[in-house]
Structure 1
Amino acid sequence: MTFSNQFQRAADDYLAHLTVERSLSDNTIAAYRRDLTHYREHLERREVLDLASISAEDSASFVDYLRDGSTGKSMATTSVARMVTAMRRFHEFLVAEGVTPNDPSHDVHPPKIGMRLPKAIPVSQMQLLLDTAGKGEGPIALRDLALLEVLYGTGARISEAVGLTADDIDFDSASIRLFGKGRKERVLPLGRYALEALEAYRVRGRPSLLARSAKPSSSLFLNKRGNPLSRQSAWGIIQSIADEANIAHISPHTFRHSFATHLLQGGADVRVVQEMLGHSSVTTTQIYTMVTRETLKEVYATAHPRAWHD
């Protein structure tokens, strides 16, 4: 068996393990597969003969391989860190399964990533985005407004939003059911604006879109052909509305960041926000408290007579 075939078989077993045992999403599995493909190509370039003969030097040089553009493009530090982590987890799996006697990547560590604060937008800009989305008529416009209201009103990830079914909205209790990473379920309240937008879409928009498809769909958000809306299409919708509103650098995650930041600015407890975002650790959520802290510092610096301004 060639090294390529041996590696690929082991990688397939590892990815199957992640799918079954850890219930990782299809997108995460696809990312791991790409990362391991880069690792295999690196090892082949070094003429490694089999999995057991991968040396610590082979694994350590993977970082340089990623950084010197050998993959065909310049890698961001976050991407390098993710790929190195994928490599380490793969080797841990091989040792645990008895495929290899040791872990050559044990002393290889991902590059440190500088902390980046989430990019939220002011409430006024969010209002402008929603007002822009609400100007249109017809089923597509109703869908777009409902989508944006759900993203901002719940902090849902874009994958969670496009994965919604019609049954995930409970209009009687004004709540929504989201499925996060690992299919972890959480039920969140729906505010009046999101509920009204969803109700309008349910009554006057979705039935019209659904009628355009020969195949019935349970998906809540549909494209113009009546099929489930994809993440890429949802991204395009958001970008189009942002362009019309003349607001730059808007992405689906902007709504999630703004949801969390605006809640904390309004006095919400960080652990409540953690539950609403579906974070497994409050540490992940606490980065948003730093955003509000930075805002406070800016306000103080410009407004207080004893601050640093002239």
Structure 2
Amino acid sequence: MKPSKTNKISPPKDHLAERIKAFLLHIGLERGYSERTLLAYGQDLQEFHDFLMEQQGKKSVRISQVDRLAIRHFLTFLIRKRMSKATIRRRAAALRSFCRYLVSVEVLSSNPAAGIDIPKMDQKLPSLLAEEDLTLLFDEPPEPTYRALRDRAILELFYGTGIRLAELIGMDVNSIRWGEDVIYVMGKGRKGRILPLGEKTKTALRQYLSVRKEELHTMSRNSQALFLSRHGDRIPRRTVQQIVERTLQKVCQASSLSPHLLRHSFATHMLDHGADLRAVKELLGHQDLSTTQIYTHVSVERLHAIYQQAHPRAE
């Protein structure tokens, strides 16, 4: 009689490894996170799992061992490894999201990652946002509510077009030219310019506009302003600043967060990916090229790469 094959036994449900798998399945299928974000979160949480396993000298980690002290020790460990602040922020964001999920499925009674301050490596404020931070921010689908969809459309416009705060506030519904996939904005000195719309920005605008009309009807108002206040008027400057600040706090620990940070990041990321300086100048609405050169700091690595490729005596 042949011996029966023994099936591999999965770790119990109270093991961290199994809960990580369930969490990734949840945000992939039910929350619609992208493959890139799933991969990033998976790597981040696996590193946390391996850290706890090594610290405790065991082959597995139980959920009961995931507490506030363990998370603090892990973040401190990352800092001592001299990881970038952007990477540490991403690890912290993954842990916060994971712990929120554990509370929602009643595995934990409270979120041990809530309110944890990421240990600061220095006091220098970032001049732009990391691309990976923005990817995490935009990959999380907004709630299907008027305010959430409005706020997402505002964020997508700032980063997707490099628009100024005053220009965004001044936009009307008919500022969007759907047939050409562009928006028309009135810049400084009452000079208008046309900005192209990417697919992500168009999607965010369409989703917002789909609920805007009903919101106006509820307010019994008739406004042409693209973005509205709670009273149906043109959205105030301070409200937009608060929306940006509140949203960026999810991925950035800087004390000063503003729409200008998104505009700066738009320009810098465009240049870092090969955009022509003069084209970026036009998109930003600058009169002089020198303004764009000061405003956008291209990485030293990219400048070296351009020099090596373009100069006949670089070799």
TM-score interval, smaller chain: 0.5 to 0.7
Q: Which of these residues, 256, 268, 271, is aligned with residue 275 of structure 2?
A: 268
Structure 1 window deviating more from structure 2 (164-173 vs 134-143): it is 134-143
Q: Which of these residues, 203, 210, 219, is aligned with residue 216 of structure 2?
A: 210
Displacement of 1:183 in angstroms is 1.3
Q: 1:83-162 residue pairs with structure 2 within 5 A? A: 119-132=127-140, 134-162=141-169
Using the alignment, how far apart are the partners of 2:289 and 2:304 within structure 1? 25
TM-score under structure 2 length normalisation: 0.53
TM-score under structure 1 length normalisation: 0.54
Name the counterpart of 2:201: 194
Cα pair 1:118 1:257 within 8 Å, conserved: no
Q: Which of these residues, 174, 180, 202, is aligned with residue 181 of structure 2?
A: 174
Name the counterpart of 1:94: none
Using the alignment, how far apart are the partners of 2:303 and 2:275 within structure 1? 19
SS at match of 2:219: coil
> Is the alpha carbon distance of 1:230 and 1:131 closer, same or farther for their aligned partners in structure 2, counting shifts above 3 Å?
farther
Cα pair 2:142 2:149 within 8 Å, conserved: no
Displacement of 1:239 in angstroms is 1.1
Task: Provide structure 2 residue ranges, at least 5 long, that are not aligned to the other structure.
Answer: 1-124, 306-315
Using the alignment, how far apart are the partners of 1:124 and 1:160 within structure 2? 27
- The CA deviation string for residues 221-272 of structure 1, in whole angstroms up to 9 with x for no partner, is 1123322111100001111112234543321101110110011011111110
Using the alignment, how far apart are the partners of 2:263 and 2:301 within structure 1? 18
Letter of the 1:251 counterpart: S
Q: Which of these residues, 256, 261, 267, is aligned with residue 254 of structure 1?
A: 261
Using the alignment, how far apart are the partners of 1:146 and 1:247 within structure 2? 23
Name the counterpart of 1:185: 192
Letter of the 2:236 counterpart: S
Cα pair 1:153 1:259 within 8 Å, conserved: yes
RMSD, aligned α-carbons: 2.4
Cα pair 1:261 1:292 within 8 Å, conserved: yes
SS at match of 1:292: coil
Using the alignment, how far apart are the partners of 2:152 and 2:207 within structure 1? 10
Name the counterpart of 2:82: none
Name the counterpart of 2:231: 225
Letter of the 1:222 counterpart: L
- Identity across the alignment (%): 39
Q: 1:26-37 residue pairs with structure 2 within 5 A? A: none
Using the alignment, how far apart are the partners of 1:247 and 1:297 within structure 2? 28
Letter of the 1:216 counterpart: N
Name the counterpart of 1:163: 170
Pair 1:238-2:252 in alignment: no
SS at match of 1:222: coil
Displacement of 1:127 in angstroms is 1.9
Displacement of 1:168 in angstroms is 0.2
Task: Provide structure 1 residue ranges, at least 5 long, that are not aligned to the other structure.
Answer: 1-116, 300-310
- The CA deviation string for residues 25-61 of structure 1, in whole angstroms up to 9 with x for no partner, is xxxxxxxxxxxxxxxxxxxxxxxxxxxxxxxxxxxxx
Cα pair 2:216 2:222 within 8 Å, conserved: yes
Displacement of 1:173 in angstroms is 1.2
SS at match of 1:187: strand
Using the alignment, how far apart are the partners of 1:144 and 1:241 within structure 2? 9
Using the alignment, how far apart are the partners of 1:163 and 1:129 within structure 2? 25
Letter of the 1:186 counterpart: R
> Is the alpha carbon distance of 1:143 and 1:292 closer, same or farther for their aligned partners in structure 2, counting shifts above 3 Å?
same
Using the alignment, how far apart are the partners of 2:235 and 2:203 within structure 1? 21
Using the alignment, how far apart are the partners of 1:138 and 1:274 within structure 2? 36
